Amino acid sequence: MLHHLQLSNTGPAPDLQLELAPRLNLITGDNSLGKSFLLDVAWYCLTRRWPQELNPGLNGGAMAQPTQRSQAAEISFSVDGESDPNQAKTYHCSFNLEEEAWIGQAGRPVNPGLVVYAMADGAFAVWDPARNAWKRKGAVDTPEKTRAYVFSSRQVWSGLPNPQSDLGSLCNGLVQDWANWQRENGEAFSQLRAVLHRLSPDAVRPLLPGPLVRISRQDTQDYPTLMSPAGHAVPLPHWSSGVKRIIGLAYLLVWAWQEHVKASDLLARPPARQMIFLVDEVEAHLHPTWQRRVVKALMDVVDNLNQHTAIQLLLVTHSPLVMASVEPLFDPERDRWWDLDWSEANQQVELTPRPFNRYGDANNWLRSEAFDQADTGSLEREAILRRARQLIQSGAEASADEVAAMHSELQSVLGATDVFWNRWHFEASRHGWQP
């Protein structure tokens, strides 16, 4: 588990500090305030590699750069190791301008357990302690040749080639693995089916695998399918962005866990006791129906991979529905909400742990510190209502012409059932207006 993260002179703020909760950490904040950056840094702290350093094809996940090159840039963090879960180890790294790299203590980094990072654009990264951890050569600790599995969104589907060999691959990718698992009909496929079932948008539209199909005479690949509500087997490449996002998550979680268990068996070791799951924009591409379910479903899915593995989640969201959806499960002992804001007073980005209030619904969440919306309707409606309220305040002094003009303005932006009409009609009869 990642306990503590502290940054200075790198990223969007001069200083950032997080004390992470052991289970669920939710991160909110306006665009460009550093939510994805924080996840990239968390991944770096846990694995000591920047995602883009391992896969230059990624859009994000670049190495953190110092803000002011003339000043020291530092990253400090503390993390529980697999071997000693109650003994957090603290590390400091600073940016070396000549090496253009973050330099920390020498030697083998702590093993944080399995780390999975789902980026906002469908890219993924997996660090597996049974396949990517450092190992001892003689008296020296050396990193594994494969430092982590970092996939662009395309490679999640097509797989990762093995740069050291023409034979075999680091990962076959979703299309081939799913098809192979389905043919074997063994544990991997039953786990995939269970994960898809739990991540489905609702009971009426389950993500149900159908038969393997060919798409074209020129393509020898058997494609997995999902059943459509109309009963058709639709090949995975033809599904929507939302379904692709969820099946990518489902596949990578099952792949990472299955391969981890196999590699641990080869090492004659039990599987990891800790898993850290970073998800950027957890609601990406999802309709509100799905947004209201996805966090609880993801928590259940990772819990079900292995009952003996403790899971820490860092989830970034822009969605008031996601925030409202976690109200019943949020436990202040184990969970925390982090909010990034631009402070006008201090002229800098600030990260604040907020007390998690139950605001009730998405509209109230939009008005909360998470989203800071003064109004949740159109900007035009907001402006006209502001002026209508001012007119109401002037009460009896308002002229008949002003009232009539405001009435027609209200008609131009408010729907027939808008709640503001009740107030307007009440005030009109109170002041004797004839709108």
Ligand X SMILES: Nc1ncnc2c1ncn2[C@@H]1O[C@H](COP(=O)(O)OP(=O)(O)OP(=O)(O)O)[C@@H](O)[C@H]1O
Among 15, 22, 62, 296, binds ligand X (CB under 6 A): 62
Contact call for residue 122 and ligand X (CB under 6 A): no
| Shortest distance (Å) from residue 62 CB to ligand X | 4
The entry of Mg ion, ligand X, none near residue 422 (CB within 5 to 8 angstroms by kind) is: none
Residue number with CB closer to ligand X (62 or 227): 62
Contact call for residue 34 and ligand X (CB under 6 A): yes
Which of the stretches 7-15, 154-162, 178-186, 258-266 binds ligand X when contact is defined by CB under 6 A?
A: 7-15
Which of the stretches 30-38, 158-166, 175-183, 378-386 binds ligand X when contact is defined by CB under 6 A?
A: 30-38
Contact call for residue 71 and ligand X (CB under 6 A): no
C-alpha pair distances (Å), 167 with each of 85, 151, 162, 284? 38, 19, 8, 35
Instruction: Please tell me the number of Cα atoms within 13 Å of 411 on its side-chain side.
Output: 7
Instruction: Please tell me the number of Cα atoms within 13 Å of 396 on its side-chain side.
Output: 1
CA 28 – CA 63 distance, rounded (Å) = 22
| Shortest distance (Å) from residue 426 CB to ligand X | 41
Which of the stretches 31-39, 155-163, 189-197, 248-256 binds ligand X when contact is defined by CB under 6 A?
A: 31-39
For 233-362, where are the E strands, in sequence order? 233-235, 274-279, 310-316, 335-343, 348-354
Contact call for residue 12 and ligand X (CB under 6 A): yes
Contact 5, 88 (CB under 8 A): no
Contact 261, 271 (CB under 8 A): yes
Contact call for residue 59 and ligand X (CB under 6 A): no
118 forms beta bridges with: 124, 279
Helix, strand, or coil here: 387?
helix
Contact call for residue 10 and ligand X (CB under 6 A): yes
Residue number with CB closer to Mg ion (257 or 277): 277
b (16+ CB within 10 A) / e for 353-373 = eeebeebeebeebbebebbee
Residue number with CB closer to Mg ion (33 or 391): 33
| Shortest distance (Å) from residue 119 CB to ligand X | 10
Which of the stretches 27-35, 270-278, 321-329, 401-409 binds ligand X when contact is defined by CB under 6 A?
A: 27-35
Among 8, 24, 37, 371, binds ligand X (CB under 6 A): 37
Residue number with CB closer to ligand X (35 or 336): 35
For residue 321, the surrounding DSSP H or E stretch is helix 320-325
Nearest CA to 321 among 355, 282, 356, 354?
A: 282
Contact call for residue 65 and ligand X (CB under 6 A): yes
- Site for ligand X, residues 84 to 113, rule: CB under 6 A: none
What is the per-residue DSSP string for 78-92?
A: EEE-SSSTT-EEEEE
CA 308 – CA 275 distance, rounded (Å) = 10
Q: Residue 432: CB partners within 8 Å, gap ≥ 6?
A: 396
Contact call for residue 35 and ligand X (CB under 6 A): yes
Angle ∠(126,241,311) on CA atoms, nearest 5:
35
Contact call for residue 36 and ligand X (CB under 6 A): yes
Binding interface with Mg ion (CB under 5 A): 36
Nearest CA to 333 among 20, 27, 4, 21?
A: 21
Annotate each residue in 310-349 with x if it binds ligand X (CB under 6 A) or - if it does not, as one string: ----------------------------------------
Residue number with CB closer to ligand X (196 or 351): 351
Contact call for residue 61 and ligand X (CB under 6 A): no
The entry of ligand X, Mg ion, none near residue 260 (CB within 5 to 8 angstroms by kind) is: none
For residue 381, the surrounding DSSP H or E stretch is helix 379-394
Token pair in block for residue 347: 């002229």
| Shortest distance (Å) from residue 302 CB to Mg ion | 22
| Shortest distance (Å) from residue 189 CB to Mg ion | 34
Binding site for ligand X (CB under 6 A): 10-12, 29, 31-37, 62-65
